Amino acid sequence: MLSYLRGTPAMLIQPIRLLRGYSRAALRADLIAGASVGVVLLPQSLSFSLLAGLPPTMGLYAAIMASVIGALWGSSSHLHSGPTNTASILTLSVLLPIAVPGSPTFIAAAGLIAVMAGIIRLLMGLARLGVLVNFVSDSVAVGFTAGAGILIMSNQIEPMLSLKLQSTSSILDTLRFTTLQIGQTHVPSLLLGLGTINLLLLLPRLQRKLPAVLVSVVSGGAISWGLGMESLGVKVLGELPHGLPPLAALPVLNIGMIGQLANGALALAIIGLVEAVAIARAVAGHSRQRLDSNQEFVGQGLANIAAGLFTGYPCSGSFNRSALSYQSGAQTGLGNAFSGVFVLTSMFVLAPLIGHLPRPVLAGTLVVTAYSMIDHQAMARIWRGARGDTVIMLITLAATLALPLQFAVLIGVLMSLGYYLLKTSAPRVQVVLPDAGFRHWAYQPDKPGCPQLAVVDLLGDLYFGAANHVEDSLYDMLMNCPQQRFLMLRMHSVQQCDISGIRALENILRICRDRGGGMFLVRVREPVVQVMRSIGFIHLLGGDHFLSEDEAVGNLFHHVLDPAICIYECEQRAFRECQDLPKRMLASGTITPEGRGPLPPVPELAARDLWARLRGADPPLVVDVREPREYRQGHIPEALLIPLPNILGGPDGLPHNRAIILVCRSGRRSVRAAAHLVAQGFMNISILKGGMHAWEAASLLEAVEV
């Protein structure tokens, strides 16, 4: 919390960081971009305010305040804030149940809800909730960008052809109405628009340093004026209002109205943020700029607060103006701020000139800008990539064309979130084996594994959404290999674990223990260890069951796995430790029925006690049941070598009236031999506890070369 509070002042002084080290070259580029965007911002602010049921002056005031404040306090160099189609429609839909459009109450409520939505956005930014936009995936951004570009181009049909189309949000209806009225196309307007498009496409090829958009707009206006095209019916922007944005008298003490607007303000805040950041990310995909979502939240919040306080209405990020800002060469956010200054200046100085700018010229400019933002290469890469990303891109594109913009963005976000949950809820759970060089673990489904030990990679988090999938996968693996009693889980990819994940591990542990085996964990990350410790799973599993990966298999091979199965039943050599192990297959193929489950209890004798008895008056007979090769590497003095297969085949010559001590490497083969001898009538049978490992640990080993 303290770190959040300490970071708050830095977020509020963003303009200082923006102006620090500002260069003259950037100033020139930003001025040109600001003028280019301002030319488009003027007519849009007027038309969008009418769409919201508000006076045109409110659109201009909102454009001035939001573009300046949003640019200064935002993080994107190109995201343009101001009146938008989405914000206008949402404002109208929220305010309609409260007042009549255009009435004083309606106008006051529009300013108040802008301030309320701005405060929500500001608080979300200061609370570092920018992480929420991480769910706007690249597939959503690319699909949304392509769809918005197509929509922008379709929306320019009316001014380009000078038709009177019915207002509709459907591109299919726009095309249908255009087809019905195509015979009424105004040829001078069409020629002026097409000429602007051709000039915009030609100028970058001739001279890339020229501000193509501004030159095209000025040229189109000059041609229209020189040829008298306005008298021929070419539509122009028209007269602009005059005056500075006045401070609004908002009903901030009207608790009843605030309560009525609360839900709508929250919807405006969230949808506007998602839309604005999606646009910023889409443009950043071209500019390669790194964005700070929290700072963008702050910028959007302050922009709306300023717009509401100075007789404006709710604003958001505009895709076409942001794309135009980038295409016009803006270097910093001041380019968008200059667009607001341009609108303000135009209301006083350039009003007569700007009022005569042809609308087909502006339409041609937006057509080229919109088309350039359809990233064909990115779409092709996504198409060749994962199927899920392709589906998200296509559905977002279709939703952008068929639905209101705010719903298209939300659908894309929800699909990204659903796709993420789908992938994380089904992490890969796969059995791995050493590669040919025994240096790395690899998924090798066609290679037979160890009959005793399954080594499994958990490639994903163990949270509530994935716990059942992981448990079911491990359960199926164990059921398919009923002879496997031991399980080693490699958990380096498990970043998070909750109580549901622990429960899944407990259930698998119970299955392993019911088989007489156990479960071991390697490469468990510290956050997961902390959860296991706090819940008590470490105590249940046992601290010695957390192994170092470099020594895990060796530890299990020498101290846990049954060497009798390794030598006499298993033809595989799965691990490095298996390579030097003698292999002697029994005629029956198995050691005894007991070999598949818990071994029977047999009296044990410690290494020092056996040493003492061997020095006593009546020493026992020591029978080494290992293989000759193991015996030659070191054995107990005077021990009789009878490998386990020989004992199982019939221990001829062993005395029934003498104490017999059975010895093997770790004790497990001795237990098998003891069980067989007891069944044959031998009564005085014991085994060396811990086998030759214990004998060597007690410094009693005496190597004998044979």
The DSSP secondary structure of 94-150, one letter per residue, reads: HHTTTS-TTSHHHHHHHHHHHHHHHHHHHHHHHTTGGGGGGGS-HHHHHHHHHHHHH
Tokens of 660: 């017999």
Q: Alpha-carbon distance 237 to 42, whole Å?
A: 8
Phi, psi of 301 (to 5 degrees): -65, -50
Q: How far is CA 557 from CA 530, 551, 564, 602, in A?
A: 28, 10, 12, 22
Q: Which of 512, 566, 570, 664 is catalytic?
A: 664
Q: Alpha-carbon distance 651 to 128, whole Å?
A: 77
Sort residue 233 into left (φ over 0), alpha (ψ -120 to 50) or beta. left
Beta bridge partners of 688: 605
Q: Alpha-carbon distance 295 to 303, whole Å?
A: 12
**Strands 546-547, 518-522: parallel, antiparallel or unpaired by DSSP?**
parallel
Beta bridge partners of 701: none
Phi, psi of 628 (to 5 degrees): -55, -40
Those residues with Cβ within 8 angstroms of residue 428's Cβ, 6 or more apart along the chain or in another chain = 457, 459, 460
Q: How far is CA 22 from CA 25, 295, 652, in A?
A: 9, 19, 98
C-alpha 338: how far from chain center: 36
CA dihedral 157, 163, 168, 169 (to 10 degrees): 10
Tokens of 208: 């890339």
Q: Which run of H or E residues covers position 518?
A: strand 518-522
Length of the chain in residues, anyone? Answer: 706
Beta bridge partners of 317: 81
Q: In what order do the strands lie in the sheet with 640-641?
A: 604-605, 685-688, 660-663, 621-624, 640-641
- Contact of 11 with 125, CB cutoff 8 Å: yes
Q: Alpha-carbon distance 300 to 306, whole Å?
A: 10
The one-letter amino acid code at 87 reads A
Nearest to 149 by CA among 395, 370, 324: 370
- Contact of 702 with 639, CB cutoff 8 Å: no
CA dihedral 528, 530, 533, 536 (to 10 degrees): -60
CA dihedral 521, 523, 526, 528 (to 10 degrees): -50
Phi, psi of 95 (to 5 degrees): -90, -20
Question: Is 664 among the residues known to form the active site?
Answer: yes
Q: Alpha-carbon distance 634 to 681, whole Å?
A: 30
Q: Alpha-carbon distance 592 to 677, whole Å?
A: 12
Q: Alpha-carbon distance 397 to 409, whole Å?
A: 10
**Strands 660-663, 640-641: parallel, antiparallel or unpaired by DSSP?**
unpaired
Q: Which residues are catalytic?
A: 664
